[in-house]
Amino acid sequence: MKTLHIRKGDQVKMLSGKDRGKTGRVVRVWPKTGKVMVEGVNQVKRHEPLRQQRGRQGMTGGIVTKEMPVQISTVALVCETDSCSGRARVGWNIAEDGTKRRVCRKCGSDL
């Protein structure tokens, strides 16, 4: 499995595509295919058929809006500190206790 700079729960900004400039949180990551799902970005409309099950009422179909994954290369991590507050390049530091941490290259804060 690849080690990615972007993880679930990170704040990211879209660099290209129809949603360029939008920011959102990462909902899910697929490391093998190099894709991420960001909330509020790359929304598409899908036509859901009406499904009726025995004894149930109120199963509605229609047009449903949902989010689709985007390539990980089209998003950039956002540094949320006041000094940076923009796109961040990711570096790695090893702490005194031996753990590996992601840090912002510009301001040096933990991501």
Give Cβ neighbours of residue 31 (< 8 Å, ≥ 6 apart): 1, 2, 4
Residue 41 is given by DSSP the state S
- Residue-level pLDDT at 106: 80
Domain ranges of the chain: 11-48+62-104
Q: Quick one: fold of 11-48+62-104? A: SH3 type barrels. (2.30.30)
* Rounded Cα–Cα distance for residues 13 and 20 (Å): 8
Of the pLDDT bands very low, low, confident and very high (cuts 50, 70, 90), residue 2 is low
* pLDDT(70) > 70: yes
